[in-house]
Amino acid sequence: MEITPSVLLKAYACGIFPMAESEDDPHLHWIEPHRRGILPLDQFHLPRRLARTIRAGGFEVRIDHDFDAVISACAESTPGRRKTWINGEIRRLYGALFDAGHCHTVEVWRGGRLIGGLYGVRLGAAFFGESMFHRERDASKIALTYLVARLKAGRFKLLDTQFVTDHLTTFGALEISRREYQELLDEAVSAEADFYWLAMPSSSEDCLQLVSQTS
């Protein structure tokens, strides 16, 4: 069966997402982890050094400004990652979701240069983080922090990280069972949220205040 943007959204609503083996692999494989990574929005942990970096400024955060540049950067080889799972079909599908308003980017710019960011899928009050990158220290962490602020402001209920890495654990990410995840997912996709509720540009102080709030 051909994977269309509509099929992709239905898969997300069922707890499934696609990946490719490599950039050169023309096929996609459906993934449904037994243990799912989430980042509870009301338990987000902001490291003190990162808070100081955000407060100091010197960068600009943009939303949905250049999807192609973000997904291309996410697919770049890095010292710790020589291969990427982002192939041409992933670019096509998520580009179509972006055009339809279901895929979003959070981008960090400095001096007219894109230095970090992330992209993910929105469905109801759930946000599914797909990939992030950085070209300068802390740039992806800044993007994640601004994403959490935006999701909290827009009354999102779920931030899905798919898997948990040491990097994400420092922010409070954890693993839950497939059953627990599906319960959270069902509640989130049936609720309403507003990704654009937080006006742009939003100040660093607004961001820091939002991420520090607990429900």
For residue 6, give both structure tokens: 């509509």
**pLDDT computed for residue 80 by the predictor:** 62
- 18 inside domain: no
Instruction: Give the DSSP per-residue string, 151-162.
Output: HHHTT--EEEEE
Average pLDDT, the chain: 94
**Is 64 inside a domain boundary?**
yes
Q: What confidence tens digit (pLDDT) does each residue in 133-175 have?
A: 999 999 999 999 999 999 999 999 999 999 999 989 999 999 9
Instruction: Look at 47-51, 147-151, 196-200 and tell me which has the smallest mean pLDDT.
Output: 196-200
Domain count for the chain: 1
CA distance 101 to 79: 33
Q: What's the half-sphere exposure (Cβ side, CA atoms, 13 Å) at 141?
A: 22
Residue 7 lies in a domain: no
Report yes or no on 207 lying in a domain.
yes
| 71 domain-assigned | yes
119 and 131 in contact (C-beta within 8 Å)? yes
pLDDT for residue 25: 83
Asked whether residue 48 is assigned to any structural domain, the reply reads: yes
Q: Which residue has the higher pLDDT, 85 or 164?
A: 164
Specify whether the CB–CB gap between 9 and 97 falls below 8 A.
yes
CATH of the domain at 54: 3.40.630.70
What is the pLDDT at residue 157? 98
Strand partners, 107: 62, 117
Provide the sign of the torsion angle of the four alpha carbons 37, 41, 42, 45, taken in this order: positive
Inside any domain, residue 72: yes
At 82 the pLDDT is 59
SS3 138: coil
Its domain, for residue 164, covers: 33-80+104-212
Q: How confident is the model at residue 79 (pLDDT cuts 50, 70, 90)?
A: low
Q: What is the pTM of this model?
A: 0.94
106-122 average pLDDT score? 98
User: Does 98 map to a domain?
Assistant: no
pLDDT for res 215: 59
Per-residue model confidence (pLDDT) at position 130: 96
Average pLDDT (67-96) is 87
